[in-house]
Structure 1
Amino acid sequence: MVRHVPRMQVVHDGPENASPLLLIHGSGASGATWAPMVGTLAGRHHVLRVDLPGCGQSSPAPTYDVPDQAAAIAALLDDLALRNVPVAGHSSGGWVAIALADKRPDLVGSLVLISTATGLDAQQPQPFILRALLAPPFGPLLWPLRSDSMIRKGIGATTARPVEIPDDAIADLKNITYRTFRKVLRCNGAYVAERSTPDRLADLDVPVLVIFGAADPRYYPESARQYEAVPNTRLEMLPGVGHIPMLEAPEATSELLLGFTAAAADSPTS
């Protein structure tokens, strides 16, 4: 079932009377990247998968600043009359989740950050295919020519093992323009450059689970250890997993997420 709010698409899975769970994708992706986990998650939750503004099936926005992306999600949750929702974000989607918890703590019951970088200094040297697609001078020329196989190769460069990529995720990636993608990347980078992820989390009064691939080729896995110093935050490293645990280890990632959201919901402080 698909519903629309201004500028944003959300796909609902699972019983509507179950406790909600919001999933936020990373830069330029879409809610389709969560597909391998949805069946398991929807067994316990009413799962909401959003396409952020300018991504997937959602309309472009005037600005892609992280707080503005979070405001769009806040408007969605207000429209649905939802409060105290567990929120999971992948990669830069974790920064959007943090901004949501910061500005609207009434909306967020707990946070799960999957492959969310601690800061720009955690980024590893990027594979050639990503540099060619995402940056001038080749990016603007290659972007309109992207084939399914090229996109799959680009995604595969961020994983530590071969993965099956949902066709919907490929189609959604084709929908985002090069100009929009660059704007999203700049705004996300500016957000974390202003203040590190652990520093932002330290100001929040919300339980946090960080899931990080121990073989992430996009961000140095050892950088995730910085999360261990953040109060109310638990770190789980997944052996042999790269930057996209939802595709590489959906069962293990779902198990961690469900266990955490259940424990957070049962906590007397939640």
Structure 2
Amino acid sequence: MALYEGKQVHGMHVVHDGPREAPPLVLIHGSGASGSSWGPVVPALASRYHVVRIDLPGHGQSPPATSYDVPGQAARLAGALDELGLRPVTVAGHSSGGYIATALAEQRPDLVGSLALISSGPSSDALLPQPAFLRVLIDPPLGPLLWRVRSDAMLRRGVTAVCNRPVDVPNDLVADVRGIGYGTFRTVLRHNTAYIADRSVPARLSALDVPVLVIFGAADPRWDPSSAHQYDTVPHARVERLPDVGHFPMLEAPEATSELLLRFAAAGR
């Protein structure tokens, strides 16, 4: 596996793993995370693919942006892929990163050869009451204060609160999460909600002619696991449910997650 230093492309931090001549596999993280959240699955994926990890604006090592609406972030991502000369690509998005991936396929079908969504809630009505720790950390009046004084232990707990299995949270992910501003995070959440309220993800995918893989943890505490059935209506889609896994399959079940992604990407070549 070859590792390439990250660089800024269209205002986003991009890291490459694996051979550059291999087929490209683009990984998009969710809200409040970074490209580091994919760390446990990268070695397996990079053994066969040119893995491209993106830090979305205001996350990880990417600077803030003036707007965080989902279509706008997808357009920025398209510009980065154009600059890198990558097409067509397999795109995998975790959580709200799946919305960015879907919007990218809506805007630029020439760029997206296949699409994988991991723990991406299909519609607003599928959202569950959030874990108490996250509600306190995120919502006013305590949220803004706690956000400024977050310890490493609190940051790790923020990740594990949505996991169903014990996980080791990567140190680089903790460092990246620390740099995300409270205002940025709240704004991103608001735009994500607006995107799926306007039209559900399965409805958006049904209008696209692209192979789709949906991976859902059967014990996801953020989204009703049974809502994964909403994706069964999408043509060219396969839904995989991981037993005893929560919201972070890449951290909780990296081997199973990477194997599903590898098989899916290979089928689309």
TM, length-normalised to structure 1: 0.97
Q: 2:243 matched to which residue of 1?
A: 239
In the TM superposition, what is the alpha-carbon distance from 1:61 to its structure 2 partner? 0.6
Which aligned pairs between 1:145-184 and structure 2 lie closer than 5 A?
145-184=149-188
In the TM superposition, what is the alpha-carbon distance from 1:229 to its structure 2 partner? 1.3
Gaps spanning 5+ residues in structure 1: where?
266-270
Q: 1:207 matched to which residue of 2?
A: 211
State the one-letter code of the partner of 1:202: S
Contact 2:104 2:112 in 1 (8 A): yes
Structure 2 counterpart SS, 1:252: helix
Q: 1:100 matched to which residue of 2?
A: 104
CA offsets, 1:204-261, max 9 Å, x none? 1100000000111111100101111111110000001000000000000000000011
CA offsets, 1:176-208, max 9 Å, x none? 100111111111111011111110110111000
Structure 1 counterpart SS, 2:59: coil
Matched residues in 1 for 2:11 and 2:190: separation?
20
Which aligned pairs between 1:73-152 and structure 2 lie closer than 5 A?
73-152=77-156
CA offsets, 1:112-166, max 9 Å, x none? 0000001111111111110011111111111001111011111111000110110
Structure 1 counterpart SS, 2:61: coil
Matched residues in 2 for 1:157 and 1:80: separation?
36
Contact 2:162 2:221 in 1 (8 A): yes
Out of 33-42 and 115-124, give the one that drifted further: 115-124
Contact 2:31 2:185 in 1 (8 A): yes
Structure 2 counterpart SS, 1:210: strand
In the TM superposition, what is the alpha-carbon distance from 1:4 to its structure 2 partner? 1.5
Task: Tell me which stretches of 4 or more aligned residues in structure 1 moved more than 2 Å.
Answer: none
Q: 2:267 matched to which residue of 1?
A: 263
TM, length-normalised to structure 2: 0.97
State the one-letter code of the partner of 1:159: C
Matched, 1:23 2:27: yes
Contact 2:10 2:79 in 1 (8 A): no
Gaps spanning 5+ residues in structure 2: where?
none
Length, aligned pairs only: 265
Q: Could you tell me the percent identity over the aligned residues?
A: 63
Q: What's the Cα RMSD here?
A: 0.7
Matched residues in 2 for 1:119 and 1:49: separation?
26
Q: 1:57 matched to which residue of 2?
A: 61
In the TM superposition, what is the alpha-carbon distance from 1:100 to its structure 2 partner? 0.2
Q: 1:268 matched to which residue of 2?
A: none
In the TM superposition, what is the alpha-carbon distance from 1:6 to its structure 2 partner? 3.2
Structure 1 counterpart SS, 2:268: helix
Matched, 1:9 2:13: yes
Matched residues in 2 for 1:127 and 1:263: separation?
37
In the TM superposition, what is the alpha-carbon distance from 1:81 to its structure 2 partner? 1.1
Structure 2 counterpart SS, 1:110: strand
Structure 2 counterpart SS, 1:11: strand
Matched residues in 1 for 2:157 and 2:246: separation?
14
In the TM superposition, what is the alpha-carbon distance from 1:54 to its structure 2 partner? 0.8
Q: 1:196 matched to which residue of 2?
A: 200
